[in-house]
DNA sequence: CATGAATGAGGATTCATTCAT
DNA sequence: TATGAATGAATCCTCATTCAT
């Protein structure tokens, strides 16, 4: 008999509006009232859906991270050989970060303003997972001979993850958008000519495709 | 005159203490009172040396940026050929970021909490300068044949700057320190085997040094 | 007509649940939502039966006071002589307060939280009535010689009423229940040996009953 | 060099004003802003001296309890025999409660509004101490023959403590002040003729003074 | 009748900044 | 010059109450 509302859907809609407001004015400078107004609801209603400001960002981050995890999985399965897997992963990560740049910006913003150790720990876990995943792929590539055996997989993985983070931070600090495709192809070039064991003359012979 | 020197020195000492406090608890969670206490002075005295909270960070950032600019200059002059210039620049930037990680962390923190457009603009300018400088070097390298002509200097420069930022951000998010030397050499390898026009056979002959 | 009976019955059931919730967490800390939940109904439905929070307590208090008034009447009629009337009244009042301790606790609670002058006035009236009633009985006892003429009936009545209140407050402040029977007999002893004119030798002969 | 303020004295002054405001409008209805205004200071200044509303009441209660404890001690030492000790204690307690009625009212008020278990526990402890003290005196009186051996010291003690509480509560509920001296002497009469073992004829022989 | 989603008035609390000493 | 006591603007969050369904 009472008004029936799809709470999940409405929470999503509110979070969407919140992200816009938070991104525009910054996490600290955006008041709960601003978010409510941006979502077109009353201040009190906001608290029907989210316990507090961090909860809103957490909600957004979940959506962000779900697509990220799914995309990473897809990228992993898309290619049979380590090198292509790596390209696929990095390309996807870069594109995803730029596609979800508002979410990224807000999450980093929040991380600075609140000192939520739980969130930080979760994020650190995600990063560690990424590093481990990439290091693993690099190791495999070194073992099957497709990647140069002369570098430390862990350090190189850290380098890639840092690069991913850096792209996000650059986007956050500067107002002008980054060219995802350009960055991705530049990175690709760096990788293909850098970490592959097979060199130009080899490639010319085999045809260039690593698989 | 000696008074002024004293003032400057005391401001430096206060800023030093401030950085420690700000880094430990975050920009937003650190009160002016905390900073004053960390510096061993009264709350009111703080305002004798700094107009407000942002001013403290600005003071710190100035010191940080001065050493950065000087180091970049030195790096530029240290090597005659573009490729070595690039290596020197990136190595220095990376090492500098990790050495001044507290300052970096605090500046990023503040950027999120305040929405100081002036600061942001200055920082953006610094980044643009860095990008332009690197792109210029890359172009020179492409022209003199020492670098692979197949990439866009601007995009590749953006990639390097992002990487620099990412290292800082990683350091900020995670509590464990990064291995500057390791990262630097990994990057170096990536560069040497990736963006240099000279290939495996050349290296084997010459021994790897581009100049 | 049956509807109205139903409404009354449901209001009683809700009020019963409300008392439990209010007693458990305190008037101020218990939200209307809590009461609705405790009663197993919707928040809106609560307002179909009670205008607001105080109304719920008022409803409970009415039930409480009705049994109190009825019991006091019964006690008054149960004994022919003033002294026995007094014993009967005080015993009943004490037992009633402890039996309805939840209601007492909630009413006092509410009195502190709301500043409802109307309620306070009503309660003051009840107390004044009690005092007058008791003072009257005491006077009668003094006149017919069964009570010691040496005390002021009004002051002694005030003492008894205070005692009644005190038992309630003690019960409210402490979590452990009070021994109603024990208190009552202690009080009885105090009265019989204290305010009765008849002394030890008389008691030894007659056996202690004043009538 | 800075303004020097006797923090303790100022806290006392603020608490004094707070008690007045809290007593007048009730704990729940009195806003921190009201208290600040009553004390003639800014809202923020209030927080320089007290962490929150309960802390203010706690401060007041401490002052109240200190004089209470001291007075109880004095009363204990004032009389050599148990019966007189008891009279002295009860008289003092009654008079003290009425003298500090504002503090009492506010403390009870707060107890209802906040559910501070710590405070409640402390108060319960005080009451238990009072009961034990009185029960002990009663026992001594029973042993040395000056008090009627026919009652339970513990229950009678509980009765007295309840009476004490009741006087406070009556004062709280009603606006008109109670007659402390009258109540005290009524109680005294109740006690002297009630719980003393020696009766009228005995008293006439010995001279009436229990010691 | 019953419901619970929506609301905003209201109050506690924080903290950068001022300024009298 | 150094200080810390004083301040109030600013913001979070709660919850009684309304009302559309």
pLDDT tens figures, D51-87: 999 999 999 999 999 999 999 999 999 888 888 888 8
Euclidean distance between CA atoms A95 and A181, whole angstroms: 8
Residues of chain D neighbouring C180 (CB-CB closer than 8 A): none
pLDDT digits (tens, 9 = 90+) for C114-148: 888 888 888 899 899 999 999 999 999 888 888 88
**Model pLDDT, residue B152:** 86
Euclidean distance between CA atoms C17 and C36, whole angstroms: 9
State which residues between 44 and 73 of chain A bring their CB within 7 Å of strand E: 44-45, 47-49
Q: Which residues pair with B196 in a beta bridge?
A: B147
Residues of chain A neighbouring B124 (CB-CB closer than 8 A): 173-175
Euclidean distance between CA atoms A67 and A58, whole angstroms: 14
Backbone dihedral angles phi then psi of residue D191, each to the nearest 5 degrees: -70, -50
Nearest-CA distance D23 → chain C (Å): 11
Cβ of B31 near strand E (distance < 7 A):
yes
Q: What's the token pair of residue B176?
A: 């464990």
**Model pLDDT, residue B80:** 84
- Cβ <8 Å between B189 and A194: yes
Residues of chain D neighbouring C127 (CB-CB closer than 8 A): 170, 173-174
Euclidean distance between CA atoms A66 and D61, whole angstroms: 55
Q: What's the token pair of residue A83?
A: 């090198």
Place of tokens 């260039």: A208
- Cβ <8 Å between D195 and C193: yes
Residue nearest to nucleotide F14 (CA to C1'): A44
Binding partners of B (≥3 Cβ pairs within 8 A) = A
Euclidean distance between CA atoms C37 and D122, whole angstroms: 33
Residues C17/C38, Cβ–Cβ less than 8 Å: yes
Higher pLDDT, B35 or B196: B35
**Model pLDDT, residue D96:** 93
> Rounded to the nearest 10 degrees, what angle do helices A32-39 and A53-78 cross at?
60
User: Distance from residue C48 (CA) to nucleotide E2 (C1'), in Å?
Assistant: 9
Euclidean distance between CA atoms C95 and C168, whole angstroms: 11
Q: What's the token pair of residue C148?
A: 């010691």
Closest CA to A10 of A53, A44, A50: A50
HEC per residue, chain A: CCCCCCHHHHHHHHHHHHHHHHHHHCCCCCCHHHHHHHHCCCHHHHHHHCCCHHHHHHHHHHHHHHHHHHHHHHHHHHCCCHHHHHHHHHHHHHHHHHHCHHHHHHHHHHHHHCCCHHHHHHHHHHHHHHHHHHHHHHHHHHHCCCECCCCCHHHHHHHHHHHHHHHHHHHHHCCCCCCHHHHHHHHHHHHHHHCECCCHHHHHHHCCCCC
Euclidean distance between CA atoms C147 and B81, whole angstroms: 119
Euclidean distance between CA atoms D194 and D191, whole angstroms: 5
**Model pLDDT, residue C5:** 66
Residues of chain A neighbouring B155 (CB-CB closer than 8 A): 179, 182-183, 185-186
Residue nearest to nucleotide F3 (CA to C1'): D2
Closest CA to C18 of C57, C52, C54, C47: C57
B201: Cα within 13 Å, side-chain hemisphere: 4
pLDDT digits (tens, 9 = 90+) for C63-98: 999 999 999 999 999 888 888 888 889 889 989 998
Residue nearest to nucleotide F20 (CA to C1'): A3
Residue C197 in 3-state DSSP?
coil
Nearest-CA distance C49 → chain D (Å): 25
Euclidean distance between CA atoms D123 and C80, whole angstroms: 42
Residues near A139 by Cβ (< 8 Å), separated by ≥ 6?
A: A153
**By 3-state DSSP, what share of chain B in percent is helix, strand and coil, each rounded to 5?**
80, 0, 20
Euclidean distance between CA atoms D25 and B67, whole angstroms: 63
Residues near B8 by Cβ (< 8 Å), separated by ≥ 6?
A: none
User: Distance from residue D43 (CA) to nucleotide E10 (C1'), in Å?
Assistant: 16
pLDDT digits (tens, 9 = 90+) for A123-153: 899 999 999 999 999 898 888 888 888 888 8
Task: Name the DSSP letter for residue C150.
Answer: T
pLDDT digits (tens, 9 = 90+) for C151-191: 888 998 998 899 999 988 888 887 777 788 888 888 888 88
D and A make contact (3+ CB pairs below 8 Å): no
Euclidean distance between CA atoms A80 and B73, whole angstroms: 46
Residues C150/C200, Cβ–Cβ less than 8 Å: no
The reply to whether the predicted model has a pTM over 0.95 is: no
**Model pLDDT, residue C24:** 93
Closest CA to A150 of B203, B81, B146: B203
Q: Which residues pair with B147 in a beta bridge?
A: B196
Q: Which residues pair with A147 in a beta bridge?
A: A196
Nearest to B162 among A109, A156, A170 (CB): A170
Euclidean distance between CA atoms D200 and D206, whole angstroms: 10
Cβ of A177 near strand E (distance < 7 A):
no
Task: Indicate if the pLDDT at residue B1 is higher than 60.
Answer: no
Residues C187/D166, Cβ–Cβ less than 8 Å: no
Closest CA to A161 of B95, D189, B165: B165
Backbone dihedral angles phi then psi of residue D94, each to the nearest 5 degrees: -60, -50
Euclidean distance between CA atoms B23 and C208, whole angstroms: 83
**Model pLDDT, residue D117:** 85
Nearest to C186 among D127, D159, D185 (CB): D159
- Per DSSP (E only), the strands in chain D are none
Euclidean distance between CA atoms D68 and D81, whole angstroms: 21
The burial class, CB within 10 Å (0-12 / 13-18 / 19+), for A206 is exposed
Average pLDDT score over residue span B36-62: 95
pLDDT-based confidence at residue A203 (cuts at 50, 70, 90): very low
**Model pLDDT, residue A178:** 78
Nearest-CA distance D7 → chain C (Å): 31
Nearest-CA distance B7 → chain A (Å): 31
- Cβ <8 Å between B29 and A159: no
Nearest-CA distance B22 → chain A (Å): 11
**Model pLDDT, residue A177:** 77
Residues A124/B178, Cβ–Cβ less than 8 Å: no
Task: Indicate if the pLDDT at residue B100 is higher than 60.
Answer: yes
Backbone dihedral angles phi then psi of residue B36, each to the nearest 5 degrees: -60, -45
Residues C78/C88, Cβ–Cβ less than 8 Å: yes
Scanning every strand, the nucleotide with its C1' closest to B44's CA turns out to be F3
> Rounded to the nearest 10 degrees, what angle do helices A82-99 and A153-173 cross at?
20
Nearest to B173 among A123, A182, A201 (CB): A123
Q: What is the gyration radius of the CA atoms in chain A, in angstroms?
A: 21
pLDDT digits (tens, 9 = 90+) for A61-119: 999 999 999 999 999 998 888 888 888 898 899 889 989 999 999 998 999 899 888 88
pLDDT-based confidence at residue D31 (cuts at 50, 70, 90): very high
Euclidean distance between CA atoms B60 and B26, whole angstroms: 15
pLDDT-based confidence at residue D15 (cuts at 50, 70, 90): very high
pLDDT-based confidence at residue B4 (cuts at 50, 70, 90): low
Euclidean distance between CA atoms D164 and D161, whole angstroms: 5
Residues of chain B neighbouring A166 (CB-CB closer than 8 A): 161-169
D and C make contact (3+ CB pairs below 8 Å): yes
Backbone dihedral angles phi then psi of residue C150, each to the nearest 5 degrees: -85, 5
Q: What's the token pair of residue D100?
A: 């500090």
Residues A117/B29, Cβ–Cβ less than 8 Å: no
- Cβ <8 Å between C173 and D26: no
Closest CA to A142 of A151, A134, A154, A132: A151
pLDDT digits (tens, 9 = 90+) for C14-55: 999 999 999 999 999 999 999 999 999 999 999 999 999 999
pLDDT-based confidence at residue B21 (cuts at 50, 70, 90): very high
Average pLDDT score over residue span D123-151: 89
**Model pLDDT, residue C181:** 84
The burial class, CB within 10 Å (0-12 / 13-18 / 19+), for B163 is buried
Mean pLDDT of chain B: 85
Task: Provide the percentage of residues in chain B whose pLDDT is more than 70.
Answer: 89
Instruction: Report the residue of A57, A131, A186, A191 to disrupt the B interface, i.e. the one with the largest count of B CBs within 10 Å.
Output: A186
Q: Which residues pair with C196 in a beta bridge?
A: C147
């Amino acid at each position: 008999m009472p008004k029936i509302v799809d709470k999940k859907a409405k929470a999503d809609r509110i979070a969407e509006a919140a992200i816009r407001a938070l991104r525009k004015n910054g996490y600290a400078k955006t008041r709960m009232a601003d978010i409510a107004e941006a979502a077109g609801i009353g201040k009190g209603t906001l608290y029907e859906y989210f316990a507090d400001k961090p909860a809103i960002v957490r909600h957004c981050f979940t959506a962000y991270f779900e697509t990220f995890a799914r995309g990473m999985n897809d990228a992993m399965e898309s290619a049979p050989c380590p090198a292509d897997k790596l390209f696929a992963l990095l390309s996807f990560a870069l594109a995803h970060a730029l596609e979800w740049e508002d979410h990224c910006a807000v999450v980093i913003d929040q991380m600075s303003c609140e000192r939520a150790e739980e969130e930080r720990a979760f994020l650190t876990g995600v990063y560690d997972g990424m590093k481990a995943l990439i290091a693993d792929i690099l190791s495999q590539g070194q073992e099957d001979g497709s990647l140069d055996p002369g570098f430390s997989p862990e350090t190189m993985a850290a380098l890639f993850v840092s690069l991913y983070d850096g792209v996000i931070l650059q986007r956050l600090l500067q107002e002008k958008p980054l060219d995802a495709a350009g960055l991705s192809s530049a990175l690709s070039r760096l990788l293909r000519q850098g970490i592959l064991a097979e060199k130009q003359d080899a490639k010319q012979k085999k045809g260039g495709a690593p698989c």
